[in-house]
A and B are shown apart, each in its own frame.
Chain A
Amino acid sequence: MDFALILRVLPVFVAAAWTTIGISLISLVIGLAVAAVVTTARLSQVVALRFLGAAYVSIFRGTPALIQIFLLYFGGPQVGIQLEPFAAGAIALGLNIAAYMAESMRGGILAVDRGQMEAARSLGFGRGRTMAWIVLPQAARLMIRPLGVNAVALVKGTALVATISVVELTYTAQRFIGSTYKPFEIFAVTAVLYMIMIYGLTLLIGALDRAYAEER
């Protein structure tokens, strides 16, 4: 084990890890926003919207994330969508994780006892107000853990954007293999950095969950 090498490359890897964090955060925001729209569609009264929501989930969950990234980055220019690697990666990952997050959100909403909806409706609350004031606040708590699982998958999934040359952690690792011929050290450092990020994220999710739990 070449510790000197590890110490030498570490600053570059830490910088690359920040890029991983950046692309994760942007994808997370895109994912949450799109998932909220898809979930609304899936729970709509309108059949066509329900169908579109379900179609979104089947398409983005039913194809590899790597193909979605390639489709947007390499296929995009052919249909007039020209994106930088970072933007293409963040958008593709965000659209992909949105399908999974929509399932987590829908699960949370459906897990709220039917009686809650009935009680609110019987008081005279409409569908929208019942959702906003009664169902969603309770569903939010139930969504935190599943959405957390999605977020963890997303962070690990960012490794895929190395293939379109986004200079994040995995790409950096591959580049250093070529110059050092020390794959064990390089990939070990990479793995440890991913682990630290995931561990931090897990702590955050746990804290969020507990904060909600203590509210009542």
Chain B
Amino acid sequence: MTDVRPMIDVRGARKSYGALEVLKGIDLSVQRGQIVAVIGPSGSGKSTLLRSINHLETLNAGEVWLDGVKVNQKLGRAAFERHINQVRQQMGMVFQHFNLFPHLSVSDNITIGPIKLRGMDKAKARELALVMLDKVGLAEKIDAYPARLSGGQKQRVAIARALAMQPKVMLFDEATSALDPELVDEVNLVMKQLAREHMTMVIVTHEMRFAAEVADRVLFMADGTVVEEGAPDELFRCPKQERTRLFLRKFLNP
């Protein structure tokens, strides 16, 4: 049986900040296990699109669905709060600036979600943290504090923290943009590992090479619209739109 219901479905997403329209009616559908990379110049709305999937941005119009559940439902304040907390537990989000909790150890960063939100007991949660840290190659840092970690290590812990909630999808918001160049690979490696495990992922990135390598589909956004989308081979080798060509030229022949 094939599952035709998309894991993530965004329909007609519109978002404005005052007079500035940053999303002008975006559709995005991601199948289970699919990896979509979103590229485009800064200010194109790609981060806003990703953040609106997690409802960190509230859309002015349009719908967001996660695995058949409408994310941006119209509900009363308290009911929506319960609903969104439930939905967010199923989405892992990784931020450009890591956003690890500096007052908590690596272990507590990872286990606070499972313990407080899922009622997992502490010993079991620590085991889970160890498994997740092993996945990102940082098991030895389990008792360190974030301040002691490099940028790349912080981002890998942030990924482990998101994975510990056993999410249905992972959303990456320029996960390597704040890293020193030599630390980018270690984070990309973890993301590639997740790709091999068929994690459903939406990756907003500035790294064309990585997008080409890991994505099943690439979206090129500019000025709040999807200019072009397709398989990475097509989109990177022979883009159809002039706008895409111009953007890619800057990246490939700087």
The residues of A with any CB-CB pair to B shorter than 8 Å are 45, 113, 115-116, 118-127, 129, 133-134, 137-138, 141, 215-216
B177 contacts the other chain (CB 8 A): no
Structural contact, B97 and A115, CB atoms closer than 8 A: yes
Least Cβ distance of A116 to chain B in Å? Answer: 6
Task: Select from chain B the residue with minimum beta-carbon distance to A129.
Answer: B116
| B56→A122 contact, CB < 8 A | yes
Partner of A216, one of B81, B91, B102, B116: B102
Interface residues of B (CB under 8 A from A): 54, 56, 77, 81-82, 85-86, 88-89, 91, 93, 95, 97, 99-103, 112-113, 116-117, 145, 147, 158, 161-162, 165
Q: List 21 A-B contacts (CB under 8 A).
A: A115-B97, A116-B101, A119-B95, A119-B99, A119-B101, A119-B158, A122-B54, A122-B56, A122-B88, A122-B91, A122-B162, A123-B117, A123-B162, A123-B165, A124-B86, A124-B117, A125-B116, A126-B82, A126-B85, A138-B102, A216-B147
Contact B99 A125 (CB under 8 A): no
| Contact B103 A121, beta carbon cutoff 8 Å | no
- Contact present for A216 and B103 (CB under 8 Å): yes
Nearest chain A CB to B49 CB, angstrom units: 15
* Contact flag A118-B85 (CB < 8 Å), given A124-B113, A124-B165, A216-B145: no
Interface of A is mostly: helix
Known: A115-B97, A116-B101, A138-B102. A127 touches B81 (CB 8 A): yes
Q: Shortest Cβ distance from A152 into chain B, in angstroms?
A: 26
In the complex, A85→B88 CA distance in Å?
55
Contact of A118 among B56, B77, B81 (CB under 8 A): B56
Distance of B199 from chain A, by nearest CB (Å): 16
Give 4 A-B pairs besides A119-B99, A122-B88, A127-B81 with Cβ atoms closer than 8 angstroms.
A116-B99, A118-B95, A123-B89, A216-B145
The 9 A-B residue pairs whose C-beta atoms are closest, nearest first, are A119-B99, A124-B89, A122-B93, A115-B99, A124-B88, A123-B113, A124-B85, A216-B145, A137-B103
Q: How far is the CA of A120 from the CA of B84 in the complex (A)?
A: 13
Q: Which residue of B lies closest to A215 (CB)?
A: B103
A125 touches B95 (CB 8 A): no
CA A214 to CA B111, docked complex, whole Å:
22
Please give, as numbers and ranges, the residues of chain A lying within 8 Å of B89 by CB-CB distance.
Answer: 123-124
Which residue of B has the minimal Cβ distance to A45?
B77
Q: How far is the CB of A48 from chain B (nearest CB, A)?
A: 15
With a cutoff of 8 Å between Cβ atoms, the chain B residues found around residue A141 in the complex are 103
Q: For B88, list chain A residues within 8 Å (CB).
A: 121-124
Smallest CB gap from B148: residue in A: A216
B112 cross-chain contacts in A, Cβ below 8 A: 123, 133
Measured CA separation A134–B91 after assembly (Å): 19
- Assess whether B161 is in contact with A123, with CB atoms less than 8 Å apart: yes
Distance between Cα atoms of A138 and B101 in the complex (Å): 9
How far, in angstroms, from A120 to B161 measured CA to CA in the complex? 11
Residue of B nearest to A123 (CB): B113
Give chain A residues whose Cβ lies under 8 Å from the Cβ of B81: 126-127
Q: Which of B54, B82, B91, B95 contacts A115 (CB 8 A)?
A: B95
Q: Would A133 and B116 count as touching, CB distance under 8 A?
A: yes
CB distance from B201 to the nearest CB of A (A): 15
Instruction: Return chain A residues, CB-CB under 8 Å to B56.
Output: 118, 121-122
**Chain B, residue nearest A127 (CB):** B81
| Shortest Cβ distance from residue A216 to the other chain B in the assembled complex, whole angstroms | 5
Closest to B165 in A: A123
| Chain A residues within 8 Å of B97, by CB | 115
- Which residues of A are found within 8 Å of B86, using beta-carbon distances? 124
Q: Please give me the residue from chain B that is nearest to A128 by CB atom.
A: B81
Chain A residues near B116: list those with CB within 8 A.
Answer: 125, 129, 133
When C-beta atoms are compared, the residue in chain A nearest to B88 turns out to be: A124
Question: In this complex, what residue of B is CB-closest to A114?
Answer: B99
